[in-house]
Amino acid sequence: MTRRLLLSLAGGALVAALAFGLNPSGDAHRAAIKAAVAERSPVAGALGLGALAAFTTTYHSWGVCSYTTVNGRTLSFGAFGVVHVRELLPSDSSR
C-alpha cells in the first residue's frame, strides 16, 4: 500500500513538474494566434491582421497553464507546450 502511494505521489509530482516546465510563453501564444489567423483567412494573414490581433493580447499564466485575452475575451489557452486558439469570430448557429 505504501509503495502504491509513493508511486502515485511521484507520478503526480512528475506531471506537475512537466506542466510547469512546458507552460507556453506569451510568445508561443502570439505565434499560434498569427498562424491561426493566416490559416483561417489567407487574406487576413497577408494583411498582417494576425500580428495585430496577437499584439493586442494580454498574457496570463497560472504556472501549469496559460491563456491570452483581448477585451476580456479569452483568445487562446495553452498547457503542456500546446496552444489552442479559439474561433476568432462567433459562429452563427441560426442559419
| pLDDT tens track for 58-68 | 999 999 999 99
For residue 34, is it within any domain? Answer: yes
Provide the domain count of the chain: 1
Query: What radius of gyration do the chain's Cα atoms show?
Result: 18
**Residue 14 lies inside a defined structural domain of this protein:** yes
Q: Is residue 92 part of a domain?
A: no
Residue at 90 is within a domain: no
Range of the domain at 67: 2-85
pLDDT for the residue 93: 46
* Region at 89 (left for phi over 0; alpha for psi -120 to 50; beta for the rest): beta
Query: Mean pLDDT for each 10-residue chunk of the chain (95 residues)?
Result: 90 94 94 89 82 89 94 93 82 46
Tell me which residue of 15, 16, 50 sits closest to 32, measured CA to CA: 50
